[in-house]
Amino acid sequence: MRHRLGYNHLSRPTAHRMSMLRNLVSSLLEHEQISTTLAKAKATQRMAERVIELGKKGGANEWKRANAFLWNAPTTLRPLFTSLAERYASRPGGYTRLIRSGHRVGDHAPLAILELVDNRNDFKFETASKALARELALRAKGEGERNGPDVGPDVWWGLRTRLEAFGEEGIFGQLEKEPTIDSMTKKNVLKALRYRKPFTPLTLDSNSTETTTTNAIHPSVQFLNRTHHHYLHHLASLQLSTPSTPSSYKTIKQLTQRLRPSESRGAPRPVLTVPMMGRRVAAGQSTRGWAQQHEQRSKSSSLDGLEQRLSGLDLGQAKGREKGGPISRAKAGRSRGARSATRASSTTARTEAGL
């Protein structure tokens, strides 16, 4: 029967699970970004959305409910009803973002990063600026898919001049109308800037431990500054590397001649794996005289082998090659009875001699 399947119980009893979720939500509100397993992040995301809704309402009853749920109230409760409530005042929902971040070493559990959207280190804000910067860098190098006046070394400053001509408040609307930006890149840029509020940068005085504040930077201007930073980085990497975007004017042979990082360092040296034969040298063991011993052993073994082959050949010819196999030659062509008789006679002779 489908019982207890409404949500993930995380393999914990109710008291343990609620205590863990309260701890994770409190850490998320304090640090604005946490890393945990994917299952815990999904459960924490649902609880964090409800707690932020309490902060947006801002009533006395909501304060009591949040105070009863959150831990470490001095660092989590007041920001919830002040800075976070102001940040998400115009946002209808979706206050958190979940980003998969690989697997954990050991048990290979899927990991995820859970963060509050529009924070100072917003993941979407940074990746959108990197995507736009790379697109502009490719067009500046003439390696993009577009051809026309928006391709060349002045592509970045041309775009920034057009955007800043409408003022700080008009940059977002102009980005939405800009025809030279890729559709997917534009979608992510608008998603990162739509509800973002200006942040007041904090600077630390070198002579004291007190922080001083400066004027707040508009999110659109901050986005252009970050895009310019990543644009210069991508432009430098493209100048130091081979072309990363295939050109329609090159043949298949020319495109396949692009060097990989391993090939740019030169071809690897050929290594022949030879199986180890003969005596093995132990740690600290001297090998003096090993060559002479090997020669003596090889000579003696070759002579003994020749004598055995000759004797086996004579015995085989005498007996019509009835026992001319390798085992028979190793036994000197004698049967089991003959070998037993020889051993018995030698034992009798030693007994008579008193040995």
Tens of pLDDT, residues 160-203:
888 888 888 888 888 888 888 888 999 999 999 998 888 766 55
Per-residue 3-state assignment (H helix, E strand, C coil) for the chain: CCCCCCCCCCCCCHHHHHHHHHHHHHHHHHHCEEEEEHHHHHHHHHHHHHHHHHHHHCCHHHHHHHHHHCCCHHHHHHHHHCHHHHHCCCCCCCCEEEEEEEECCCCCCEEEEEEECCCCCCHHHHHHHHHHHHHHHHHHCCCCCCCCCCCCCCHHHHHHHHHHCCCCCCHHHHHHHCCCCCHHHHHHHHHHHCCCCCECCEEECCCCCCEEECCCECHHHHHHHHHHHHHHHHHHHHHHCCCCCCCCCCCHHHHCCCCCHHHHCCCCCCCCCCCCCCCCCCCCCCCCCHHHHHHHHHHHHHHHHHHHHHHHHHHHHHCCCCCCCHHHHHCCCCCHHHHHHHHHHHHHHHHHCCC
Question: Which of 80, 98, 116 delimits the end of a domain?
Answer: 116
**What percentage of the chain exceeds 70 in pLDDT?**
70
Tens of pLDDT, residues 27-60:
999 999 999 999 999 999 999 999 999 999 999 9
- Domain identity same for 111 and 152: no
Question: Which of 84, 116, 148 delimits the end of a domain?
Answer: 116
Residue 3 lies in a domain: no
- Domain identity same for 21 and 45: yes
Residue 207 lies in a domain: no
Question: Is-above-0.75 flag for pTM?
Answer: no
Residue 60 lies in a domain: yes
Residue 318 lies in a domain: yes
Question: Which residue ranges of the chain lie beneath pLDDT 50?
Answer: 204, 263-265, 267, 316, 319-321
Residue 2 lies in a domain: no
| Residue 229 belongs to domain spanning | 123-202+214-242
Residue 283 lies in a domain: no
| pLDDT at site 282 | 76
- Domain identity same for 111 and 153: no
Q: How many domains does the chain have?
A: 3
Residue 59 lies in a domain: yes
- Domain identity same for 32 and 85: yes
Question: Which of 116, 150, 172 delimits the end of a domain?
Answer: 116
- Domain identity same for 162 and 137: yes
